[in-house]
Structure 1
Amino acid sequence: MFTSIDYEKFRTLRITHVATRFEELIADEANDELTPEQLFLTAIDDALEQRRANRIAALIRKAGFPIPTATIAELDYREGRGINPTRMRRYAAHNWSAEPVNLLINSPTGGGKTYLACAIGIAACQNQHDVAYTRMDELARKLVIARGDAIAHQRLLNELSDTDLLIIDDFLTVGIDPDAASDLFAILANREHRRPTVIASQSGPDYWVTALPDRVAADSIVNRLANNARTINLGDVDMRRQRAHQARQADTYWE
């Protein structure tokens, strides 16, 4: 068995997980017929998988998803929602860095846009992409606050410009001021042809042009978002109402 001195060496080499797993495998009588080489390679594979799982968990935490448990596997594919399992499996496996195509998710309020955006974003994290989630009103507020510090402001613009996948939810549900619109233009201009953006909104490009405060900037923003994009129209099914109804039917429901 390894000593404390051995583990200090392992920590120096950053292979503590390998050593711990190797020791566990040796101690398991079920592995008595395996060679030391086989046990060592198994320990290596297990440690690599643990490292991958830890990185994915960190990416999901960093992204800031409001529904961190959202998953493609739990999507509701009922008729009228505009999605199907084959298409969503493609999004789950998509290499966003290799194909920087934007995605627009549209539906009325309650249609499940946020859940779908989170599920796609979490799948991207599981493929080890760096993801940032924000609502449009939160983004505008962060940009306004950051403007008080030029260095912090530029750092925020750089982070949003360079993250592998940027998800902006509730896009233009409320208006934004000219400064925030200017920053949004800079972010999207920096991301164009480099990094994809997911937009979830109750409205579409025609409305966005009229809702943004500057018509020239609006044309440029909408052009960058919509002209290189796939679209998911979730239809009129109110998933929030459906979930509330299902909850009331459950045996554990009470009021």
Structure 2
Amino acid sequence: MNTNTLEKLRKLKFHGMYHAFKSSLESGRYDSLTADELLAQLVDAEWDDRHNRRIARQIFYAKFRYKAAVEDINYEVSRNVDKNFILRLADCSFIERNENLLITGSTGIGKSYMATALGYQACIMGYRVFYASTPKLFAKLKMAKADGTYIKEIARIEKQQLLILDDFAIQPFDAPSRAALMEIIEDRHGKTSLIITSQLPVSAWYEVIGDKTIADAILDRIVHDAHRMELNGESMRKKRASTTEKKTQ
């Protein structure tokens, strides 16, 4: 009978229940549990399994370049990172309020890690997130224009509750990219959130976007009431490389 029950749970794709019940049978705990205790154990196992699978899916579809965690952020004083500010962002209430976050600082300072860590946290809390390198995203959108999938790509971006644009303004926007950026920002404005990382200060973004009228419209929507973080200090990449070199000497 138990084998039959296990098979039914497997076919129903109740993976959490299946493994919990199988473990209970194999360990001998099954006979010591009341019906209520067994049911509670199986339901909890299924709940946890589905929750973990949902988080794994969110992270997979977010397309992060690497794993990052808020707990691992470096809060050295020289970096100008306010721990309390980060922890407030990590509760993801800024996403609920459809607010943006702008992270600026020199190369290697940890901007991408910071954005990715907050993105991971948002996935864990059940939000739809999409990470993209800005140059690669707009190159892909140009290709989508050519092969007829542009509307589909834009719709996919619009559905994300948090969009992370890494390495923003690293190169000038041409007319097609500028138009695509305007469309993305307009579609998301006041409805979703955005995290942008950039080596350039916000004041320099106008020139990189080009076309003053469009730049004004885009940045007014991005910057208005956005949270801002300017990272300082030594390049984290150089620091890690230096530490590794010393260890190998």
Of the three residues 208, 211, 229, the one matched with 1:211 is 208
Of the three residues 218, 221, 224, the one matched with 2:221 is 224
Offset at residue 33 of structure 1 (A): 4.1
Name 1:126's counterpart in structure 2.
Answer: 124
Name 1:50's counterpart in structure 2.
Answer: 49
CA RMSD of aligned residues (A): 1.9
How far apart, CA to CA, are the structure 2 residues paired with 1:134 and 1:34?
49
How far apart, CA to CA, are the structure 2 residues paired with 1:56 and 1:18?
18
Give the conservation status (yes or no) of the 8 Å contact 2:61–2:130.
yes
> SS of the counterpart of 1:148?
helix
Name 1:37's counterpart in structure 2.
Answer: 36
> SS of the counterpart of 1:147?
helix
Report the TM-score when normalising by structure 2.
Answer: 0.92
Give the conservation status (yes or no) of the 8 Å contact 2:173–2:210.
yes
Offset at residue 172 of structure 1 (A): 0.8
Cα deviations across residues 94-119 of structure 1 (Å, max 9, x unaligned)?
14542110000010111111111111
Q: Does residue 118 of structure 2 align to residue 113 of structure 1?
A: no
| Structure 2 unmatched ranges of 5 or more | none
The residue correspondences of 1:73-84 to structure 2 (distance < 5 A) are: 73-84=71-82
Name 1:192's counterpart in structure 2.
Answer: 189
**Paired amino acid for 2:80:** G
**Paired amino acid for 1:126:** I
How far apart, CA to CA, are the structure 2 residues paired with 1:97 and 1:75?
20
Offset at residue 249 of structure 1 (A): 3.0
| Structure 1 unmatched ranges of 5 or more | none
**Paired amino acid for 2:151:** Q
**Paired amino acid for 1:90:** R
**Percent identity at matched positions?**
28
Name 2:147's counterpart in structure 1.
Answer: 149
1:7/1:96 Cα in 2 relative to 1: closer, same or farther (>3 Å)? farther
Larger deviation: 54-63 or 185-194?
54-63
Higher helix share: 2
How far apart, CA to CA, are the structure 2 residues paired with 1:61 and 1:138?
18
Offset at residue 175 of structure 1 (A): 1.4
**Paired amino acid for 1:171:** F
Offset at residue 39 of structure 1 (A): 2.1
Offset at residue 194 of structure 1 (A): 0.4
Give the conservation status (yes or no) of the 8 Å contact 1:96–1:195.
no
Offset at residue 32 of structure 1 (A): 5.4
How many residues get paired?
249
Cα deviations across residues 131-152 of structure 1 (Å, max 9, x unaligned)?
11111110110111011134x1
Name 2:165's counterpart in structure 1.
Answer: 168
Larger deviation: 32-41 or 191-200?
32-41
**Paired amino acid for 1:241:** K
Report the TM-score when normalising by structure 1.
Answer: 0.90
Cα deviations across residues 136-172 of structure 1 (Å, max 9, x unaligned)?
110110111011134x100111111220110001101
How far apart, CA to CA, are the structure 2 residues paired with 1:8 and 1:19?
8
Offset at residue 44 of structure 1 (A): 1.3
> SS of the counterpart of 1:232?
strand
> SS of the counterpart of 1:80?
helix
How far apart, CA to CA, are the structure 2 residues paired with 1:96 and 1:36?
44
How far apart, CA to CA, are the structure 1 residues paired with 2:161 and 2:101?
13
> SS of the counterpart of 1:197?
strand
Of the three residues 133, 136, 146, the one matched with 1:135 is 133
How far apart, CA to CA, are the structure 2 residues paired with 1:170 and 1:203?
9
